[in-house]
Structure 1
Amino acid sequence: MVDLRQGGRGLGGSYAWDGPHLVTGWHSHDMHQIEYAISGVIEVETAAAHYLLPPQQAAWIPAGLEHSATMNSSVRSVAVLFDPSLIRSPGDRARIIAVPLLIREMVIYAQRWPINDAQPDPVADGFFRTLGHLLIEALDQETPLDLPTPTDPLLAAAATYTRQHLEAVTVEQVSRAVGVSERTLRRQFRAELGLSWRDYLTRARLLRAMALLAEPGPSVLEVSNAVGFDSPSSFARTFTRHCGESPSDYRRRVTART
């Protein structure tokens, strides 16, 4: 349990990050948390799934939920924390939401009250209570694109191998690497994760593509090749179907200055 309050006594507050590459390790908080990337891409992992947070998406992390976050070197982020007495979390799992403009501006404005300095203040309490209720309503429009986390060691090894060889991987290569038949591997993916190995591969490729597109440098074509799609048109169709917009539109949106 990590205490971000450090003496602060307010019912809500913020924690901003703008620094070097950081992997937090597994931890939890005694407050509900929304994690939002102003720029760059944050990775959040729980026991159930691995999530990617480009700008304009955020993770809701209930109090007490163990998680790990990876802040890449270009990340600027704001975590907003809420005392459980302020708002009630709808469930005990992490959720990913698309952040509308109003909530985004309120999350950024919340930096006025750093969590370690937050003191009882009716204005601050009202602000965080309102923001919390808006977030709870937004959770009804959950938009996850995640990778479920296998608990079986063999399946976990197969999932890791798949993610490490996105540019050119086949189920035959994965099954050979972990020492089981293709049929067994396919059956285990379906039984434990509820999706096929091919679907897992597609999600992993799209999540990696989202991270690459959120950074300056590689073109859409280069991203398509880097994550293993046969052609730019196939990449564009798949990305649009799962993410609701084209790779080019996504890049323009998430790299726009807030």
Structure 2
Amino acid sequence: MALAAPPDLSDIAVPVQPLARTYSRGLYIEPHEHVWGQVLYAMSGVMWLETPNEALVVPPQRAVWLPPGVMHGIRVVSDLEMRNIYLRPSIAATLENTVQVIEVGRLLRELILNLVEQGPAQQGLDYYEAVVGLALLELQRAKRTVLKIPMPASSDRRLINLCQAVMSAPSLDVPFEQHAENAGASVRTLARLFQGALGMGFAEWRRQVQLATAVAELIQGVPVSVIARQLGYSPSSFSDMFRRELGVSPSQYPIGERMT
């Protein structure tokens, strides 16, 4: 699929601008920002979205709300079918001024797809504006989820490289020592940087990445035993860790409605 032309964010006469794109696994989109608000929704595939202060894992059935002016990069974990809508600043102001991960139910999904696939010329202006209004209401009322990982606001490239490496491979099978060697720093130095920048140790931070990754896999219907193995756990030890951290077993975790 050829890349669609970028939206014209200088045209404030329209309420939203759509964008449909396909991205291949492993692609990294360099940090950038927009003057409009942005709803990023993946019909299929998983991405990590990185802002200066946090990283968010975004599986299908979730979207990210990005207020205007938020710097962000995107790391594509698996082949991604993206459907985005940009909201002009006056409309964006009716949503939060912080980044949010949003559960996408069936109605919101169909509204996003409708806005991306059909503009006012196809639907008629009155109908189109009604769809925009309903989509905004659904965005405002949609459940917010916690799939956020704190990221270091640090200029130390070694720490940032280590964090990005862990998000790509969060398994216990890759020890801290190996991550430190790959990042070009000693274990002691990176442990100190972790504590200073994030207020927690490496093991605790990686566990948060593992939990976010596990939730994204559960949403896609991946068996618990497979997730455990990918993260370097036995099924029982993974379930114990998951329950200890999130209060429920993996099989009891609320994942919302699955799209078919």
2:232 to 187, 209, 228: 228
1:175–1:252: structure 2 CA closer, same or farther, 3 Å change rule? closer
> Who is 2:134 aligned against?
130
Structure-1 separation of matches of 2:175 and 2:23: 37
In structure 2, the residue matched to 1:86 is 91
Q: Counterparts of 1:89-238 in structure 2 under 5 Å?
A: 90=95, 92-113=97-118, 121-138=125-142, 141-150=143-152, 151=154, 152-160=156-164, 162-163=166-167, 164=169, 166-171=171-176, 174=179, 178-180=184-186, 182=188, 185-210=190-215, 219-229=223-233, 231-238=234-241
In 1, are the aligned partners of 2:95 and 2:140 still within 8 Å (CA)?
Answer: yes
Q: Alpha-carbon deviation of 1:48?
A: 1.6
Give the counterpart of 1:63 among 65, 68, 74: 68
Say which SS state the counterpart of residue 202 (structure 1) adopts.
Answer: helix
- CA drift of 1:175 comes to 5.5
8 Å contact 1:41–1:55 — kept in the other structure?
yes
Q: Distance in 1 between matches of 2:122 and 2:30?
A: 25
Contact 2:64 2:101 in 1 (8 A): yes
User: 1: distance between equivalents of 2:204 and 2:83?
Assistant: 32
TM-score, normalized by length of structure 1?
0.75
Q: Quick one: structure 1 residues 49 and 118, their matched pair in 2 at CA, closer, same or farther if it must change by over 3 Å?
A: farther
Matched to 1:156, the amino acid is I
Report the 3-state secondary structure (helix = DSSP H, G, I; strand = E; otherwise coil) of the residue aligned with 1:63: coil
Contact persistence 1:78–1:108 (CA under 8 A): yes
Unaligned runs of 5+ in 2: none
Q: Are 2:19 and 1:12 aligned?
A: no
For the aligned residue pairs, the C-alpha RMSD in angstroms reads 3.7
Structure 1 CA distance for aligned equivalents of residues 76 and 165 of structure 2: 22
CA distance in structure 2 between the partners assigned to 1:172 and 1:82 by the alignment: 45
Q: Which runs of 5+ in 1 are unaligned?
A: none
TM-score with structure 2 setting the length: 0.74
